[in-house]
């Protein structure tokens, strides 16, 4: 039965914690909400980027062909914003968890590269990465270690480079989606963090875990389309909820001595 609780140090169901402890394979699905807590604006929803900018000019193949300079100026601005941001406790907790399970997959809809900066090694990027550029002629991919300087950037072959991200009207990378689906299907537990669970096919991944008998725990600021299907929904900031959940799951003895209510008795 689905359960919903508030975040922070709210009492977490012991049966859920026990299933996380017993898990051999775990996956985490993250969305814009986790990076919003690092100061990176979201794309959708009230106050999102697409409320202010025309995605047809900035995030479609047609818009890029019409004005690659405009598109790259905008992506450089995005790169500079992300460059100044830092991974938050949710990113860091996810990176720490990777060391405690036989197999651990981070599946992200974000393009900011924050999981890798936090230390996660096995990251499946469904929508690409803003720190890569791809040649429009032959598909050569170039890693970027800083915001681009020359606008528009060119490949060594002389052709235009485009951001290696998924734009409107484009399909998700087939191989990334295949790996993500396999991970979701095989996971003993999936944690869904900071995503509205409405954009498919990513939104269907937790249902694959659930269908195959796995645990699904959702962490978000508010209810989503996934909430009725999750075994547990925890509402609160990811930077508070993720560390609290992991402390309880991985270090139950330490929690008993550190919890402020118990420690003061």
Q: At residue 48, does pLDDT exceed 60?
A: no
* pLDDT reported for residue 7: 57
Split at pLDDT 50, 70, 90, the class of 99 is very high
Q: At residue 44, does pLDDT exceed 60?
A: no
Burial of 189 (0-12, 13-18, 19+ CB in 10 A): buried
**Mean pLDDT (whole number) for 40-68:** 76
- Angle between helices 238-250 and 89-97 in degrees, nearest 10: 30
**Residue keyed to tokens 């990334």:** 176
Q: At residue 50, does pLDDT exceed 60?
A: no
Hey, what are 195's tokens? Answer: 């995503």
**Mean pLDDT (whole number) for 120-139:** 97
Per CATH, domain 43-84+128-165 is 3.30.1600.10: yes
Catalytic residue ranges: 127
Q: Which region among 24-33, 53-62, 168-177 has the lowest average model confidence (pLDDT)?
A: 53-62
CA distance 59 to 53: 10
Q: Which CATH superfamily is domain 1-40+91-127+174-265 in?
A: TPP-binding domain (3.40.50.1220)
pLDDT tens track for 193-235: 999 888 888 999 999 999 999 999 999 999 999 999 999 999 9
Split at pLDDT 50, 70, 90, the class of 253 is low
Cβ-Cβ contacts under 8 Å for 13 (sequence gap 6 or more): 3, 232
> Between vectors from CA 214 to CA 208 and to CA 217, what angle results, nearest 5°?
90
Q: At residue 98, does pLDDT exceed 50?
A: yes
Cβ-Cβ contacts under 8 Å for 256 (sequence gap 6 or more): 262
Q: Where are the domains of the chain?
A: 1-40+91-127+174-265, 43-84+128-165
Cβ-Cβ contacts under 8 Å for 100 (sequence gap 6 or more): 250
Q: At residue 64, does pLDDT exceed 80?
A: yes
Residues 24/18, Cβ–Cβ less than 8 Å:
no
* pLDDT reported for residue 41: 79
Q: At residue 120, does pLDDT exceed 60?
A: yes
CA distance 147 to 249: 39
The DSSP result for the chain, as a single string, is: --EEEESTTPPPPHHHHHHHHH-SEEEEEE-HHHHHTTTPPPSSSTT-GGGTS-HHHHSSHHHHHH-HHHHHHHHHHHHHHHHH----HHHHHHHHHGGGSSEEEEEE---S-HHHHHT--SEEESSEEEEEEEETTT--EEE-SS---SSS-B-TTSPBEEEEEPPTT-PPPHHHHHHHHHHHHH-SEEEEES--S-STTGGGHHHHHHHTT-EEEEEESS--TTTTT-SEEEES-HHHHHHHHHHHHH-HHHHHHH-HHHHT-
Bridging pattern class, strands 123-125 and 103-108: parallel
Hey, what are 38's tokens? Answer: 């690092």
Split at pLDDT 50, 70, 90, the class of 47 is low
pLDDT tens track for 8-27: 556 789 999 999 999 999 99
């Amino acid at each position: 039965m689905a359960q919903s609780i508030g975040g922070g140090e709210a009492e977490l169901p012991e049966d859920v914690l026990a299933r996380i402890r017993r898990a051999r394979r775990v996956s985490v699905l993250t969305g814009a909400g986790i990076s919003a807590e690092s100061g990176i604006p979201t794309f959708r929803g009230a106050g999102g980027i697409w409320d202010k900018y025309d995605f047809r000019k900035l995030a479609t193949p047609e818009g890029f062909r019409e004005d690659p300079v405009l598109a790259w100026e905008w992506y450089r601005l995005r790169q500079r914003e992300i460059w100044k941001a830092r991974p938050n406790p949710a990113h860091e907790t996810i990176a720490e968890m990777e060391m405690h399970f036989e197999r651990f997959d981070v599946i992200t809809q974000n393009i900011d590269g924050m999981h890798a900066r936090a230390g996660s090694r096995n990251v499946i990027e469904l929508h690409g990465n803003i720190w890569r550029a791809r040649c429009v002629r032959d598909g050569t991919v170039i890693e970027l270690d800083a915001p681009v300087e020359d606008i528009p950037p060119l490949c060594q072959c002389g052709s235009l480079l485009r951001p290696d991200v998924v734009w409107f009207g484009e399909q998700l990378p087939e191989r990334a989606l295949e790996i993500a689906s396999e991970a979701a299907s095989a996971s003993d537990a999936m944690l869904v963090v900071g995503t509205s669970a409405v954009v498919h096919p990513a939104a269907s991944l937790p249902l694959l875990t659930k269908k195959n008998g796995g645990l699904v725990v959702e962490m978000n600021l508010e209810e989503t389309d996934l909430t009725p299907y999750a075994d547990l929904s925890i509402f609160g900031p990811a930077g508070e909820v993720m560390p609290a959940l992991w402390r309880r799951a991985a270090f139950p003895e330490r929690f008993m001595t550190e919890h402020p209510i118990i420690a003061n008795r």
